[in-house]
Amino acid sequence: MRLPKHLASAGAMTAAIALSLGFAGAAYAEGYGEAPDLAEKVAAGELPPVEERLPNNPLVVPVAESIGEYGGTWSTALVGGNDDSWLNRTIGYDKLVRYAPNKMEVVPDMAESYEVNDDATEYTFHLREGMKWSDGEPFTAADILFWWEDIATNEDYQKINAIRGMYQIEGDAMTVTAPDDYTVKFTFASPNALFLMDFADRNGFEPTRYPRHYLEQFHPKYNPDGIQAKLDEYGQPDWVALMDFIVTRDPAGTGDPGMPVLTAWDTTTRYGEAQQVIAERNPYYYKVDPEGNQLPYIDRVVFDVVEDREIVLLKALNGEISFMDRHIANTLNQAVLYENREAGDYDFVNVVAGQKMNEMLISLNLNHTDPVKREIFNNKDFRIGLSYAIDRQELIDLIYFGQGEPYQAAPSRESEFFDEDMAKQYTEYDVDKANEYLDKAGYAEKDDEGFRLGPDGKRISFVIEVRNTELGDIDMLELIRKNWADVGIEMLVRTEDRSLLYSRKAAGQHDAVVWGGDGGVNVITDPRYYFPYSDESNYAEAWAAWYVSKTGEGLPITPEEPPATVKKQMELYDEIRKTGNAEKRSELMKEIVAIAKDQFYTIGTLNAPGLYAVKKNNFHNVPDGALHINQFPGHLNPPTFFISEE
């Protein structure tokens, strides 16, 4: 059997990317095109003409293959009740600025243009005049001011929802002003040099998710007499909970189906209340293709909500998935998916790994509330001993079909921060060294069954929590459990729903968890595994909470001041945020990575093998060899995807 080559060159994207920055959205002499169903509504008097629905200067988006056809349904899937990442990456990646299709370059999106002052304290965004929400109401600076003044910085709202860290610097929140209806300025008290990259990344969606004209009815400031009726109608205890219920915290807009959006498709069902999430074309979407046809091409996107990944795999094998990589496009499924391509009428799209640097990281809870486990887990020699005890080549051969290489939590080879020694340290399978380091850690004494005893004289035993959908991780942990038993460490595996795992680890209730290793290429913007940076730093949630919010207000865990070495990393990262010079930022980040190398916070397994996605043969404009970053496939312009009749 011959398997496809996945680490393909990204050269196929070059022509499309060259166009991505050059279109300015001039008016078309022949007029704009639109979907047939919208044209019918215009003819029936149910919609204004397309020229009136588009902004004065719509964003012209390049296509990867060809001008598309209107129509069809993009069929895909979600696993469980907390799988909003795929929603956000497919139909939620529309914001003021975004990343270009195949590189970490910030370009305008909802904003027609933007400027940054010399010291990176002021970011000015010029909105597209005439742009509208999906109900036809204007999108202006007033909507962004409503989000900031009446939601994000509202004292009552802040008691439950902390301001996202990117909107503040050194604890001081930015200020938001609007010189006119189509200009918004974000101003910081001191330099915030990473703001634009953060804004274009996974976050940065909040300013464009709060339609003032619609949401005022759910705010006591604007609807004091009617707010109780709204609380009763939606069964919410207070206006803050009501606002979160209506809007939701995800970019895809899967809250109240009646709430207008700016994205290409508007969800008509609430995630979690039905077996499908359905999103219909937004008739007021602000983007067009190079020939002036309003996007999106595809009529609607349907996400089947299923119980586990095996169902998604079966749907893909049966040809029921239009395009998808999440949950199915992994090494475990590669052979069966490849062999079934003809029967399922689909093919593979090669994807270049960018975001992910490790298949599975084992994060012991360094902030454990149990003082004995905290002492054990914080012993670096203990972690090194565990690392030497893992037979990574066995994991690669038995689970990943020989693909991948032993790898720690380290920047990927494509990154400017790549360090061979860091990537390979302690990855050798060496039982003698494992025992040497575990003895050195102070745990040489064993019980009658050969398990090591901790400082309290009891057997060292802990639980690693893993999502029940991650079959590869579960299989790896079973092999690692045996490896560690051979050196006298008892590890138990607990599988659970993603939402439960997330809530437990966010509250610091876990012994250890496993997760994929992000931060391969985008090291500066996603340093979660290089120092306790956010609630995704699974090994030190309390230290990360201290970095995010010293008071812990609105957080599920009590912040804890970290040791001096960790604080040094945080200070360096704060300095990065203040530094406008890119070379200086890189030097500072290298210091952070060097400290992470020495501290060895989390234990890696193997680097991510070649990536791919599954695409039906009639699904088009998905470029081959695209860079896989946090927003994949959002940065590839899903509104340009189309389905041919054949």
pLDDT tens digits for range 508-552: 999 999 999 989 888 998 999 999 999 999 999 999 999 988 777
CATH number assigned to the domain covering 356-599? 3.10.105.10
Mean pLDDT value of segment 143-165: 91
How high is the pLDDT of residue 402?
87
Measured at the CA of 529, the angle between CA 523 and CA 530, to 5 degrees, comes to 65
Element at 178 (helix H, strand E):
strand 175-180
- Can you read off the two tokens belonging to residue 532? 């306790």
Q: Which residues contact 300 (CB under 8 A, 6 or more apart)?
A: 73, 74, 265, 278, 279, 280, 281
Residue with more model confidence, 83 or 231: 231
What confidence score (pLDDT) does residue 22 get?
Answer: 37
User: Which pTM was predicted?
Assistant: 0.76
Which residues have C-beta within 8 Å of that of residue 415, sequence separation ≥ 6? 520, 521, 523
Q: Within the chain, which residue ranges are assigned CATH 3.10.105.10?
A: 356-599
* CA distance linking residue 73 with residue 347, whole number of Å: 18
For residue range 72-127, what is the model confidence (pLDDT) as tens digits? 999 999 998 778 889 999 999 999 999 988 777 899 999 999 999 988 999 999 99
- At 251, the pLDDT band (50, 70, 90 cuts) reads low
With 50 as the cut, is the pLDDT of residue 26 above it?
A: no
pLDDT at site 13: 31
- β-pairing, 626-628 vs 346-353, is parallel
Q: What is the distance between the alpha carbons of residues 507 and 509, in angstroms, rounded to a whole number? A: 6
Q: Please tell me the distance from the alpha carbon of residue 96 to that of residue 111, in angstroms, as a whole number.
A: 5
pLDDT band with cut points at 50, 70 and 90 for residue 19: very low
pLDDT band at 63 (very low <50, low <70, confident <90, very high): very high
Strand partners, 115: 124
Residues in the chain: 646
| pLDDT at residue 577, as a whole number | 86
pLDDT score, position 581: 84
For the chain, the 3-state helix, strand and coil shares in percent, each to the nearest 5, are: 35, 20, 45
Q: Which long-range contacts (CB under 8 A, 24 or more apart) does 213-219 make?
A: 213/133, 213/137, 214/133, 214/135, 214/137, 214/258, 214/259, 214/260, 215/146, 215/243, 215/246, 215/247, 215/259, 216/146, 218/242, 218/243, 218/246, 219/150, 219/243
- Cite the residue boundaries of each domain of the chain with CATH code 3.90.76.10: 95-250
The least confident of 93-97, 322-326, 332-336, 427-431 is 332-336
Q: What angle do CA 379, 383, 386 make, to 5 degrees?
A: 140
Tell the residue number behind the tokens 């079973």, with chain if given: 478
Residue 208 DSSP symbol: G
Cβ count within 10 A of residue 31: 11
Which residue has 């680890």 as its token pair?
505
Range of weakest confidence among 104-113, 143-152, 201-210, 227-236 = 201-210
* 630 neighbors 636 (Cβ within 8 angstroms): no
Q: Among 45-54, 113-122, 244-253, 499-508, which is the least confidently predicted range?
A: 244-253
- Contact 321/617 with Cβ under 8 angstroms? no
- Residue 308, phi then psi, degrees to nearest 5: -150, 170
Instruction: Report whether pLDDT(455) > 70.
Output: yes
| Bond prior to 633 in cis (omega within 30° of 0) | yes
Please give the class, per CATH, of domain 95-250: alpha beta
Q: How confident is the model at residue 20 (pLDDT cuts 50, 70, 90)?
A: very low
Task: Decide if pLDDT at 253 tops 70.
Answer: no
DSSP 209: S
Give the angle subtended at the CA of 80 by the CAs of 76 and 86, to the nearest 5°: 45
Cβ–Cβ under 8 Å, residues 399 and 472: yes
Question: What pLDDT is recorded for position 16?
Answer: 33
Structure token digits, residue 483: 């490896």
pLDDT at 491 over 80: yes
**241 has a pLDDT exceeding 70:** yes
Sort strands 168-169 and 122-127 into parallel, antiparallel or unpaired. unpaired
H-run or E-run covering 340:
none
Question: Which ranges of 466-606 would DSSP assign to H, the alpha helix?
Answer: 471-486, 498-506, 541-548, 564-578, 582-599
DSSP state of 142: H
Contacts of 584 (CB under 8 A, 6+ apart): none
- What pLDDT does residue 343 have? 96
Residue 172 has pLDDT above 60, yes or no: yes
Higher pLDDT, 488 or 81: 488
Under the banding of pLDDT at 50, 70 and 90, the label for residue 28 is low
Mean pLDDT of 33-58: 97
